[in-house]
Amino acid sequence: MSTTSVAETPAATPREDVAALPRTQHLLSRLIRRPLGVISLAVLVLLVISAIFAPLIAPHSPDTISVIDRFHGPSSAHWFGTDELGRDLLSRLLYGGRIALGISFGAAAISTILGVLWGFFAAQAGGLLDELLMRTVDVVMAIPVILFALVLVAAFGSHLPTLILIIGLLLTPASARLARSAVLAEIRSDYYRAAVALGIPRVRILFGELLPNAAPVIIARTALAAADAMIIEASLSFIGLGVPPPSASWGTLVKDGYAQIFHALYYVIFPGAVILLAIWALNTLGDQLQELLDPRASR
């Protein structure tokens, strides 16, 4: 009779059986193995750290005016040069990072939290309420984001907390849509139905099980939202409707630099490059995370 049985059917892992989406730590370890993932993460960490420790790293105070030192190009004393008031550009950039990154992350956090609540609630409720909530999303998204931002700034001003709130609210609908479809997918899974059948209150299921499973998708979206937030804030600051003086974000620095474009090119290039770098890093991080989550990603 036959001896060894060799054939093994490949183990099927149906999504419905087990909460199969990778948990966050697992995701992180996989991210590190991809070159773009590492680079974008490293860049972000670098930017965040330099922003947090700006007071310690900055060679000068960003506000020190020194008329004799105006428009010095990059030198050993001033790595990025000085501006029209003799202020050290590197220091201004470091401090500006606190504002730019602060607004970007703050707005992204707001949009994620509100969007997730909105989307979860809609998906969970279903029926007319779901329809209503999603139509609201459509209506809000009918107005191009930057225009809506301008309108809200006109109405409510642009103090820092207001700005964070405005941008956060503007990015919420997109997060809501994503959160809703992520939740819908989970609601159709067996483990959800099992939990409901066991009598676990919906809210607990929501936060205990659905959220951790949808977390990777939501984290990816948050990174992209942060990138969008930075684009909005930088654009607003550039035309003078963003961060109000005396604070200066990177966008404000580009604006100042643009005014001096015939005196000093580096003044506009450095902040511009940093903005580009930050947005690129956030976008790439978000993309890499999304690719990791998409089972079809083979390219």
Partner 1 sequence: MLWYVGRRVGMSVVMLALTSVLIFVVLRVLPGDPVTTLVGQTEGIDASQVAQMRHSLGLDRPLIVQYGSWVAGLFSGHFGMSYFSQQPVQTLMGGRIVPTVELTLAALLIAIVIAVPTAIYAAMHPRGIVDRAATAFASLGMSVPSFLAALALIIVFAVKLRWLPTRGYVSIFSDPVQNLKLIVMPAAALAFTACAPILRFLRGSLGEASEAPYIRTAEGKGMLRPTAIRKHATPNALIPTLTIVGMTVGRLLGGVVIIEYIFSWPGLGTLIVDAVFKRDYAVLQTSILFAAAAFIFTTLVVDLLYGVLDPRLKASTAESAA
Partner 2 sequence: MKAPTLGTTAPLLAVEQLSVGFPRRHGEAVTPVRGVSFSLDRGQRLGIVGESGSGKSLTALALMRLVHEPVALGGRVLLDGTDLLGLSAREMARVRAQRMSLIYQDPMSALNPVFSVGKQIVEAVRLAHDVPAKAARSRAIALLDDVGVPEPARRIDSYPHEFSGGMRQRVMIAMALASDPDVLIADEPTTALDVTTQARVMDLLSRIVADRHLAVILITHDLGVAAGFCDEVEVMYAGRVVEHAPVDDLYGRPVHPYTEALLGAVCRLDADTARPMPSIGGQPPLPDRLPTGCTFHPRCPCATQRCGGETPVPLAVERGRFAECLYAHERASAPSVGGGR
Q: Identify the burial level of 14 via C-beta atoms within 10 angstroms of its C-beta, where 0-12 means exposed, 13-18 middle and 19 or more buried.
A: exposed
Distant-in-sequence, close-in-space partners of 166: CB < 8 Å, separation ≥ 6: 149, 152, 153, 156, 158
Segment 9-28, which members bind partner 2 (CB under 8 A)? 9-10
Nearer to partner 2, 1 or 198 (CB): 1
Establish if 265 lies at the interface with partner 1 (CB under 8 A).
yes
Is position 2 an interface residue for partner 2 (rule: CB under 8 A)?
yes
User: Interaction with partner 2 in 106-165: which residues (CB under 8 A)?
Assistant: none
Contacts with partner 2, 36-75, as mask; x by CB under 8 A: ----------------------------------------
| 183 contacts partner 1 (rule: CB under 8 A) | no
| Residue 67 binds partner 1, judged by CB under 8 A | no
49 contributes a contact to partner 1 by CB under 8 A: no
Q: How far apart are CA 141 and CA 120, in angstroms?
A: 19
Exposure string (b/e) for 81-118, b if CB count within 10 Å is 16 or more? Answer: bbbbebbbbbbbbbbbbbbbbbbbbbbbbbbbebbbeb
CA distances from 60 to 52, 100, 166, 274, 294 (A): 16, 19, 33, 19, 46
Residues that bind partner 1 (CB under 8 A): 135, 138-148, 150-156, 227, 231, 234-235, 238-241, 254, 258, 261-262, 265, 268-269, 272, 275-276, 279-280, 283-284, 287, 299
Residues that bind partner 2 (CB under 8 A): 1-10
